[in-house]
Amino acid sequence: MRFSVLRWLLPFVTAAWHIAALLGCYRRFVFDEAEGRVYGLADDVYISACFGRSLFSGAGFVWYAGAPRVEGISNPLWSVLIGALHTLPGYSLDRLGALVIALNAVLLVIASWLFWSTIERARPAAPLGKAAALGVVLLPAAVGADYWCAEGFEIALLAVLCLGMVHVALGPNLERASVALAIVFALGVATRMDFVLSAVPGLVLYGLRRPGARNLARCFGLAVLLVASLLVARYAYYGEWLPNTYFLKATNWPLEARLPRGRLQNAALLPLLPLPLLALLVPISRRWLLREAPHALAGWLGFALTVLYSTYVGGDAWRSFGGYDRHTAIGGLLLIWSACAVIAALAHRPPLAALACALALPIAFWPLYAENGAARVRDALFQETLGARSLEREWIRYGKAFREIARPGARIALCPAGAVVYFSERGGVDLLGKVDPFVARLPVSPRKPPNNACWRDAPGHNKEDDVAVFELRKPEFSRYRPPPEVAPLYTKVKYKGFQFFQRK
């Protein structure tokens, strides 16, 4: 049985689950204030929103109007899309979160269709009923991706681009696919530079179809041209070949200090990496995998690369959810896709398909239970009285208060560089360095330095020198008590219960 009824039913069920999980996880960002309901987002997403808002307001692709040209984001294309939301009729500061979640819902619908269409293209003659049943059962294992979408991040866009590359690679026209692959690849790199890892399954599958030297050269040449154009444009505008966030997170941090943290973050995922290698050691399964299910191996390779990358960079600054952080969320989707691809390839052999199902279920759900995350997932999806995210709520309120006491053009020194600047529509001085090249190039501090307000042991948060930043940037306000060396230059101000330090 080919897709027939399943062709439309499966994407619908898959999309319905992902949207339900998206909305369930998003409830924490919705809260009521005296002036009305606020639909919030994670603080980092508001940094992207600041860049997008500045772009569409004509101020340039910068943090705020008048800010120096520093690329303090890791997701330029996502920032542009969020910026475009500012032009919609229903936009307001308090409604941006609802617009971003609606955009992510649309992208999840597209990703759900691509998930099943790629499996159908990989095994066009297979009876996909068992693979379909397995895929529906495995949906909760991908809740980590839905969670990060609910935070407002670009995971759904990356899923569309990643599965889109697989869809194109398995298409009938190899010549057109070479051009389409290069374009989608460039869009992925414009979204996040580490998309090159998520693009591996599509590129491998295209290469396995032996498209010929001419098509490979066309694909490679166009991809290099497009990505080189992005790099040249970045250098021409920012004066840097790489984003400032790269220098913040990936430089002046010794590998021997970084790896232990990355291994700890991905402790639930690392044991899954050798499983296909064990299968390849058995001659019968090796021959079958290489002949019947190379697409499954390609998907697993994408999963493995994202896990290894997350480990290499020291993990994520945010706690993982459902077993996956922001680096590995797409890898988790690829792991489930690979499992469904194996079942589809075994669909003609029910006993083997049943065995594969029995193996796939614990593998897919292992990351969720290995870190005791099942209760957290259950609460996020089903708890009726789920409290609002207190930190984002406080930062949004603080930003609104800052807008009322500060004139346009005033800058405030702070650690959470997103919501405060976004809602205040004022400037900022980033003590953690995401939007400050001086801090981004500092060496990592193995422990909290004295007189620093923000430091914590996490990637992107472990470089700080408040004294130097205050002397260099001279912010008009500070959210925290300035270090003793410059404290006499500031006076304490209280407004609406919030504390500010204003430069005299």
**Domains of the chain: which residue ranges?**
4-39+92-382, 390-503
Reduced to 3 states (helix: H, G, I; strand: E, B; else coil), residue 235 is helix
pLDDT, tens digit, 9 for 90 and up, residues 7-47: 677 788 888 989 999 998 898 899 988 888 999 999 999 99
Q: Is the pLDDT of residue 353 over 90?
A: no
Token representation of residue 187: 């869009």
- Decide if 136 contacts 331 (C-beta within 8 A): no
- For 495, residues 6+ apart whose C-beta sits below 8 A from its C-beta are 401, 404, 405
Q: Is the pLDDT of residue 98 over 70?
A: yes
CA 248 to CA 374: how far, in whole Å? 33
Tell which wins on pLDDT, 430 or 345.
430
**What does the pLDDT read at residue 142?**
84
Q: Is the dihedral of CA 20, 23, 27, 32 positive or negative?
A: negative
Give the closest residue to 38 by CA, choosing from 27, 47, 49: 27
- Decide if 501 contacts 434 (C-beta within 8 A): no
Q: Is the pLDDT of residue 468 over 70?
A: yes
pTM beyond 0.85: yes
- Decide if 400 contacts 40 (C-beta within 8 A): no
Which residue pairs, CB below 8 angstroms and at least 24 apart, start in 33-36?
33/94, 33/397, 35/94, 36/94
Token representation of residue 457: 């042991």
- For 340, residues 6+ apart whose C-beta sits below 8 A from its C-beta are 115, 119, 131, 132, 134, 135, 138
Q: What backbone torsions phi and psi does residue 491 show, to the nearest 5 degrees?
A: -125, 145
Q: Is the pLDDT of residue 2 over 60?
A: no
- For 228, residues 6+ apart whose C-beta sits below 8 A from its C-beta are none
- Decide if 327 contacts 250 (C-beta within 8 A): no
Residue 4: HSE in the Cβ half-sphere, 13 Å Cα cutoff = 7
Tell which wins on pLDDT, 82 or 382.
82
Which element (helix H / strand E) includes 503? strand 498-503
Average pLDDT, rounded, for the chain: 88
Average pLDDT over residues 193-215: 91
% of the chain with per-residue pLDDT over 90: 59
Q: Residue 432: pLDDT band by 50, 70, 90 thresholds?
A: very high
Tell which wins on pLDDT, 103 or 258.
103
| Cα torsion through 117, 120, 121, 122, rounded to 10 | 120
Average pLDDT over residues 428-437: 94
**What does the pLDDT read at residue 119?**
84
- For 420, residues 6+ apart whose C-beta sits below 8 A from its C-beta are 395, 398, 399, 402, 412, 414, 428, 479
CA 153 to CA 410: how far, in whole Å? 28
Q: Is the pLDDT of residue 385 over 80?
A: no
- For 249, residues 6+ apart whose C-beta sits below 8 A from its C-beta are 313, 314, 459, 460
Average pLDDT over residues 273-298: 78
Q: What is the largest CA-CA distance in the chain?
A: 78
- Decide if 119 contacts 131 (C-beta within 8 A): yes
Give the closest residue to 432 by CA, choosing from 66, 448, 313, 85: 448
CA 41 to CA 100: how far, in whole Å? 8
Angle between helices 43-57 and 390-405 (to 10 degrees): 40
Identify residue 12 by its one-letter amino acid code. F
**What does the pLDDT read at residue 425?**
94
**What does the pLDDT read at residue 124?**
65
Q: What backbone torsions phi and psi does residue 428 show, to the nearest 5 degrees?
A: -145, 160
Q: Is the pLDDT of residue 96 over 90?
A: yes
Which element (helix H / strand E) includes 490? strand 490-495
Which segments within 230-284 are labelled E, that is strand? none
Q: Residue 1: pLDDT band by 50, 70, 90 thresholds?
A: very low
Q: What backbone torsions phi and psi does residue 490 show, to the nearest 5 degrees?
A: -125, 150
Reduced to 3 states (helix: H, G, I; strand: E, B; else coil), residue 468 is helix
CA 350 to CA 212: how far, in whole Å? 36
Residue 19 Cα to chain centre, angstroms: 17
Token representation of residue 333: 């989707």
- Decide if 459 contacts 317 (C-beta within 8 A): yes
Cα angle 73-438-41, degrees, rounded to a multiple of 5: 30
- For 239, residues 6+ apart whose C-beta sits below 8 A from its C-beta are 69
